[in-house]
Each structure stands twice: as structure tokens, then as C-alpha cells.
A and B are shown apart, each in its own frame.
Chain A
């Protein structure tokens, strides 16, 4: 059931983004930034959390999930450290994704020599 929900929610998020690319003049960069921002906003007003609980990776892996993680991290650190937490929390919570992207990207670049 969880798998099906993850598929349905994750797929819906991607479908919406694809429709925005296809039907509007938005370029991929705009869609990327607005997805993250939208995720952050929904997270901030408490709507993305329940969605992530419901659909798991279906909600946390697509781009809005990154915005959600940023906001949750900031709120956690804010509760713990006060104002300084506004600056530390975001990157801490998303460090797994960011580090993985950088390190794996580096490894792949060394192995496969990606250039044209």
C-alpha cells in the first residue's frame, strides 16, 4: 500500500511539473526552483509533513521534498539553537542529498570522463 501511495504521489508531482514545462513558457530551471520553493512553503504551513508521512519517498525524493527538508531542518535547529539555527538547520538536514550529489558526481566524472 505504501509503495502504491509513493508511486501515486511521486508520479503526480512529476506529472504536474511536466505539464508546467509543456503547457507554459516556463523553462526547466524555473520549474526546478519553484518546485523547491513550493515544497518549502507547504512544509512551513504544515501541509507537506503529512504528505511525506503518507507517501514516504514518493514525497521526499521529488524536488518539493528538498524544500520540505530545508524547512524542517531550519525549524528543528531554530527550536534547539535559536536564531543561529535559521542558518545551520537547512544545510544540515539536506546534507545527505547534497553530499551524495557532489561526491557521486565527482566519482562518476573520474570514472566516465563526461565531456563532449
Chain B
């Protein structure tokens, strides 16, 4: 049997494009002070959110994001067929604990900061494939839990260098549904793992940029679309260093993204928020999607958008053992109700 929904080398096209019935965002205090502050569904008062540890706070944020999303869609957890969730911690602990508490059949995902788009692509495939009516997708990250997972103990107070990015504290969820109204996922381009040999964990943007450029290039060649077919192209968390590299790499390949392109990590914070190169983390793309893209697509301000979440797939152990940082980027193409063309 031919894979009739496969398009080109790395993309899929959905025959009955699944609807994003609702998207939710739960943001940390620093993110709440950023430009999207008023657009988040919930902004935490502090990074512990009344919990005993940051890990517990992150789990609670993720759970809350799913609950808010289902509430917005008017759906009970029992009516959701599958939950696709991931985060940055060892054994994707937060996602596992959320799945325990909400008891929806669960697939745990690890795509580092690309998890949100990985989930969206898989969720849309499940729905369009006829395996599910509704799939909830969510991912979270937390500055302090990521700091001690990947960098230094938080008590150590290590200095951050200018290329370092600030892991976003937040969680986002989306409900992908076979029926209903809302923006639709029409295509997904699944990324290849790209490793350019970069080893600096304080400069993830540079490491991830080639993966983002690869997936974006592949998306256009697979679908035959042009840059002008999109109102917005957003990468997940390249930050200002990675964003510039990604733009330059694509320009050399003859793709000029121009003013349509931006990076979630760059726009999530204000310049004076001291996040150095910008935001990063699973929540980066999730928050910008829920607070900005989803709203614009619903209002028809954007007719079609491409969200390309980028992830660095290293672990502290792989870095200590001299492995370079492998990266991946997954893209989903989303159209407003009524079609983008």
C-alpha cells in the first residue's frame, strides 16, 4: 500500500486536516512580564507556585495547561483519546505525573524543545488516520528545573554568557480534534537529526539553527509552497544568535524568509528582561503558539502559519563524554478556518 498522505521526503499532508479546538498557556512570572503577558491564560505569581520544589511546580503548570485547554474546548478528560506530553526533565517526569493525575491514555514524548510540534504532528496523524477523535498535546519547561538538569545547581549561581538562553517557565497544551471549528493542521514536516559538531551548551541557538533551516527548506521543497504562502514562520527557540544563523543559511539556499520570519524565543521576552540571547525550552513555542499564533489564526489576522519547534537532543552525560549537540526541528503548517489559499 502506498503511503498516500506522505508528501516528499519528510512531510505529510492531512486529508481531513484536524482542528486545533483549543490551546492554552500557563506562564511563569518573568514570562508574564513579557510582551505576551496579558494573552496568557494563567500567569504564576512565583516560580514555585506554592509547591515544595520547582519540579512539582512544573508538573502542576503542565497539568493546569491541559485542564484549561480542555475547559476552553468544553471537553472532559474522558472524551480525550490520547495524551501526548513531554518536558525536559529526566524520564520526562512532569509529563508522566500529569498523565497519572489526568488518566488519559498516554504517549510520552521527548523531543527536547521541539516536543510541542512533535506532539502536534503525531496528534494530527492520529486524528487524520482515524485512530483518535481527540488528542491532547502538551509540553512544559521551567527555568530552574532545566538549570539544574542541564547546567549548574541553582544554588551555585554560575554566571551566564551572552549567547546563553533563558529556559522559559511555562506550559502549553492544545486539543487536536477531528471535528469542530478552529485553525487546522494541514501539513507536518518531520525533522531529521542534524549535528554540525557544535559542542557549546551555552550556545544552543547556533547548534539548533541548522536543524531549523533543514526542516524549513525541506518543508518548502516537499510541499511546493513558497515563503509568500505563509503570513508567519516561527521557529521555536533559536534565540537571536540562532535566528540570524538560520536566516543566513536559508538565504544562501535561496530562501528569503524576510519579515514573515521570527523566533518564539526572541519575541517572548522584552529586550530589557536580561535573558541574553532569548528564551528556550519546550514551553517557548507552546506559549507563543497559544498566546499569539492561535489567536491570530482564529481572528483571521494570519491565514496560514508555519510553526517550527527546535530541540537540542543532548544530555549532560553525552556532553561530558564529548558528543556534539544533535538537534531536530519539526514543522506544522496551520491554516485559519476556511483555508489559507
Which A residues form the contact surface with B (CB < 8 A)?
21-22, 25, 27-28, 114-116
Give bound CA distance, A115 to B155, whole Å.
8
Q: Are A116 and B200 in contact (CB under 8 A)?
A: no
- A115 CB to closest chain B CB (Å) equals 7
Task: Give B137-165 as 1s and 0s: 1 = Cβ < 8 Å from A's Cβ atoms.
Answer: 00000001000100010111011010000
Give bound CA distance, A8 to B47, whole Å.
40
Chain B contact residues (Cβ within 8 angstroms of A): what range? 10 to 19
Q: Is B7 an interface residue (CB 8 A)?
A: no
**Chain B contact surface mostly:** loop
Give bound CA distance, A114 to B148, whole Å.
14
Q: A28-B152, A116-B48, A116-B144 are in contact. Are A22 and B158 (CB under 8 A)?
A: no
Find chain A residues with CB under 8 A from B47 CB. Answer: 116
Find chain B residues with CB under 8 A from A116 CB. Answer: 47-48, 53-54, 144, 148, 154
Give bound CA distance, A22 to B156, whole Å.
18
Q: Are A114 and B155 in contact (CB under 8 A)?
A: yes
Q: A116-B48, A116-B144 are in contact. Are A22 and B161 (CB under 8 A)?
A: yes
Which B residues form the contact surface with A (CB < 8 A)?
47-48, 53-54, 144, 148, 152, 154-156, 158-159, 161, 200
Q: A115-B53, A116-B53 are in contact. Are A28 and B159 (CB under 8 A)?
A: yes
- B140 CB to closest chain A CB (Å) equals 16
A-B contacts, 6 of them at CB < 8 A, read A22-B161, A28-B159, A116-B47, A116-B53, A116-B54, A116-B148
| Residue on B nearest A27 in the bound complex, by CB | B158
Query: Contact partner of A21 among B48, B154, B156, B159, CB < 8 A?
Result: B159
Find chain B residues with CB under 8 A from A22 CB. Answer: 161
Find chain B residues with CB under 8 A from A27 CB. Answer: 158
Give bound CA distance, A105 to B209, whole Å.
42
- A34 CB to closest chain B CB (Å) equals 16
